[in-house]
Amino acid sequence: MTTAIQTLGASLRKDFPIFSRKVHGKRVVYLDNAATTQKPLSVIEALSRYYSTMNANVHRGIHTLAEEATGAYEGARKAVARFLGARPEEVVFTKNATEAINFVALGWARHRLKRGDAIVLTEMEHHANLVPWILLAREIGLELRYIPIDAEGKLRLETLAKLIDHKVRLVALVHASNVLGTINPVEAVIEEAKKVGAKVLVDAAQSLPHLRVNVRALDCDFLAFSAHKMLGPTGVGVLYGKMDALEETVPVLGGGEMIERVTYDSVTFNQIPWRFEAGTPNIADVIAFLPALAYLESLDSKTSIQHEQNLSQAAIEALERMGFRVLGPKAPNERVGVVSWTSEFAHPHDTATILDQFGVAVRAGHHCAQPLMHKLGLAATTRASFYIYNDMDDVEMLIEALKEVRSYFG
For 196-234, how does the pLDDT look when each residue is reduced to its tens digit (9 = 90+)? 999 999 999 999 999 999 999 999 999 999 999 999 999
Contact yes or no for 251/269 (Cβ under 8 A): yes
CA proximity to 189, closest of 214, 212, 150, 221: 221
The topology (CATH level 3) of 3-30+300-409 is Aspartate Aminotransferase, domain 1 (3.90.1150)
Alpha helices in 14-96, H assignment, sequence order: 41-53, 64-84
Same fold, 3-30+300-409 and 45-297: no
Closest CA to 342 of 319, 321, 367, 374: 319
Read off the pTM. Answer: 0.96
Please give the DSSP secondary-structure letter assigned to residue 313.
H
Instruction: Tell me the DSSP string of 267-298.
Output: EEEPPTTGGG--SS--HHHHHHHHHHHHHHHT
356-375 residue pLDDT tens: 999 999 999 999 999 999 99
Nearest-angstrom CA–CA distance, 354 and 68 = 48
Binned average pLDDT, 10 residues per bin, the chain of 410 residues: 66 96 96 98 98 95 96 98 98 98 98 98 98 98 98 98 98 98 98 98 98 97 98 98 98 94 95 97 98 97 95 97 95 96 93 97 97 97 98 97 90
How do the domains of the chain map onto residue ranges?
A: 3-30+300-409, 45-297
What is residue 9's predicted lDDT score, i.e. its pLDDT?
85
CB contact at 8 A, 7 and 259: no
Q: Closest Cα to residue 186, out of 203, 164, 205?
A: 203
What confidence tens digit (pLDDT) does each residue in 124-161 have?
A: 999 999 999 999 999 999 999 999 999 999 999 999 99
Tell me the backbone φ, ψ of residue 373, rounded to 5 degrees: -60, -40
Structure letter (DSSP) for residue 249: P
Known active-site residue 368: yes
CA-closest candidate to residue 354, choices 401, 410, 409: 401
168-189 pLDDT, tens digit per residue, is 999 999 999 999 999 999 999 9
Nearest 5°: phi and psi at 389? -90, 0
- The active-site residue out of 131, 253, 368, 378 is 368
Strands (E) across 199-236 are located at 199-203, 222-226
Q: Enter the DSSP assignment of 100.
A: H
Q: Are 96 and 235 in contact (CB under 8 A)?
A: yes
Class at the top of the CATH hierarchy for domain 45-297: alpha beta
